[in-house]
Amino acid sequence: MSESDSSKEIPPIPQRIGNWWLGRNLGSGYSGSIFEATHVHSRQVVALKVQHVGHECPTNRYERHLYPLLQGGLGMPTLWDSGVFGCWDYLAIDLLGASLDNINRKMGGPIQALDLGSVCCIAMQMIARLETMHARGVLHRDIQLGNTVVGPSPHEKTLYMIDFGFSKRYIDPHTRRHIPDSKAKRDFIGNYWFSSVNVHCRGKVPSRRDDLEAAALMFIHLLTPRGLAWTRNGVPKTDDAHERLKQQKRRATPESLCRNIPVEFEEFLRYCRSLKFAEQPDYERWIEEFRELKIEYGYGDSDDFVWPPPKPQVLPAEVAAMSPRRIRTPGVVEPQAMAGILNGLTNLNLAEDRKILGDRKNVEDAVRSAQADLQLDSAVTKITEVIELSSDSGNGDRNVTPKAQRLIQLARRTSNAIDNAALSKLVWEFIDVMKSNSGRTLTKEGSAFLDALYKQLADPSVFVTPMRRAIMSPEDSSVTVVEQGTFVVPDIPVKELLDAIPAHCFKRSAIRSGAYAVWDMIVIAGIYKTATYLDSFIDPAIVALPHPALYPFARFSLWSLYGFFTGLFATGLWVVAHECGHQAFSESKFINNTVGWILHSGLGVPYHSWRITHAKHHASTGHMTQDQVFVPPTRSDLGLPPLDLSREDRLGSRVTEDVKKELWEALGDSPIGAVLGSATYLLGGWPAYIITNASGQRRYPKGTNHFKPSSVMFKPQQYMDIIISDLGIILWLAAITYSIYRFGFSTVFRLYLVPYLWYVQLPECYIHQLTRYLPYAQG
């Protein structure tokens, strides 16, 4: 059949379809067209999607069955009418506003990145829309800028999801179960730009995680000047071009995609890719993460999408101090700052202002200066030749000038520098070299040095935190000097660490986790029964011991062993409770929080308040301004001047307050200091931390604690969680009080409090203590 014959079979779209009068064409594509249409009776204006009934991809037919599932959801368009008129299948839906694609292009995108506040609003709303769709058993499967639009008046600040032609139910309507995964080869359905790597590049069955990953890539695209790398060559026209695109997409790591944008976007992408096939995402967590990011940068806490975007508010100093900016890796310099540094070096004032040579005296001075420079160059040449003979550079170019030769060597040394101290020394040498003669032009050798410097400063592995340990000087035993050690941050991607963990370790099972808890309880009950049984034999009428004093000693030993082993298995319960806080006990958030609340309350821990701050602790471990616990005091907190590593510390007989502070600060890393610190922390530190924020963030206001819902660590929507945690502690204290009243303090102390002290010692001292060699990052 010829092309002309085929076109004759499809008549032009009529002016009226059903009761709808077609207006302007809003857009056309592969599967059909969409028009602004008016109802001939009610004058209602809608968007009418029109598609030929014989189309090979009948998306209207698919959408017609999905709209009833989505009706009423926030950001979901309403289906007003649908049917078949002649040979035309039509859907009448809400007439919505501009798409994000149109908005982005009007702002200069993708060449120019969208502002962070707008992207955070888009992220919060899109995650919420996907939560709505997923809660109703539907996957979108075609996340892109063109399918996210602004709502109609008066809902212009609400984003709507459209185009469900590729959407699919992931909950089987008959079995009510999640669709199964499959390794069978399948055709790709979605879009080239944002579809997940699993779906697009590996041909896997899509699930909720893939919708979220597509959204994450879209957010990163909006924040990246010129957009994601694989979007810059347009839609691939050949199979080879498509294969190259997939290869580029597959090789792109979250870290490389998210350079120079807030770390939350990298974390979100990693989270999406870490989800299992049927795992339910934690939508609320990431909505709040992006809300906090938006607040942090001064854009407020609203998720309303306002266009054009308002300017960020300038945070007051005290608020800015409460919301420090997070960065991915300490020591990494952003390109904007880096460009400023290098530009400053390029335009460095290398000499005094040169005098105008119109005056004879100035000419004579210039000649004498040139002769002096020539003598200096000769001296430098000799030095350079000596250095060159002892270097590993081999056959250098003897035709280059001494200044250029020194710059070449500086560039080589810069490439091998492993810490910031070495780099700063090289920068000073670079300045000295550039001042060595009257030439002020930045040559290619100077540019090569700056390029090498840029590369090293941009490398996250070039971050070294010094550590100190006191040793006695070999020359003078009365002198204590400070020896420098280095801690180099390992250059190991998180993905590589995760890949090293067996896959079965990531599978959550309420049955298996519950079995661990039940087993620990059975063992604890067995220990109690055994101790009670053996205690009955410690009686002169039953067992004769050589001396009467041995009976109380035997009873003390027996119950000491009971306390230790009961505390040991109570630590197992603590581990299970701990994993509930990480949502690792089961797939159900409700089960995790219920079991976690019961076990933590029985161990004297306010569950939800601990869970919230502990998550922040894991996200910012070792960060001086963002970590929540184990935050050491700085020298300024102790009233000490900055540490001078070149100064020798003499320990004389007169100990002033400053010397006491120096000793206390130095003792913190010593073995005896660690033991004393652990004992102090474990016996009184934990209660002090949750009650008064001891060892927590010193920037938090006075009165911060884990029991007050209005504390700065918690969000308003977490108010009831903190109240529930407090209720658990009240019930715990009431049970202990009643037990003391009923059985006596000595019995409660022997059966519960001694094992409780062992439980506190074991996880905190031997399992959960930070190494003293961990470097702390300044915010």
* Cα–Cα–Cα angle for 88, 91, 97, rounded to 5 degrees: 130
Give how far the C-alpha of residue 572 lies from the chain's centroid of Cα atoms, to the nearest Å: 29
C-alpha to C-alpha distance for 295 and 323, rounded to whole angstroms: 8
Residue 583, both tokens: 């949502």
- Distances, alpha carbon 236 to alpha carbons 54, 111, 226, 243, 372, in Å: 27, 20, 17, 9, 64
Backbone dihedral angles phi then psi of residue 520, each to the nearest 5 degrees: -60, -40
Q: Is 172 designated active site?
A: no
* 3-class DSSP state of 517: helix
Nearest Cα neighbor of 445 from 496, 399, 502, 489 is 399
Residue 342, both tokens: 């290098």
Nearest Cα neighbor of 584 from 279, 287, 266 is 279
Residue 88, both tokens: 């035309």
Q: What is the DSSP string of 436-449?
A: SSS--S--HHHHHH
Placement of tokens 């994601």 in the chain? 228
Q: Which helix (H) or strand (E) holds 487?
A: strand 479-488
C-alpha to C-alpha distance for 188 and 391, rounded to whole angstroms: 57
C-alpha to C-alpha distance for 95 and 482, rounded to whole angstroms: 72
What angle do helix axes 550-581 and 510-535 make, rounded to 10 degrees?
170
Which amino acid is residue 25, in one-letter code?
Answer: N
Query: Was 49 annotated as part of a binding site?
Result: yes
> Sheet of 479-488: strands edge to edge?
464-472, 479-488, 649-650
- Distances, alpha carbon 281 to alpha carbons 210, 232, 277, 615, 619, in Å: 11, 30, 10, 16, 18
* 3-class DSSP state of 732: helix
Residues 743/548, Cβ–Cβ less than 8 Å = no
The burial of 547, by beta-carbon neighbours within 10 Å (0-12 exposed, 13-18 middle, 19 or more buried), is given as exposed
C-alpha to C-alpha distance for 631 and 680, rounded to whole angstroms: 15
Catalytic residue among 89, 115, 142, 211: 142
Indicate if the alpha-carbon torsion angle 676, 682, 687, 692 is positive or negative.
positive
Binding-site sequence positions for ATP: 49
Binding-site sequence positions: 49
> What are the catalytic residues?
142
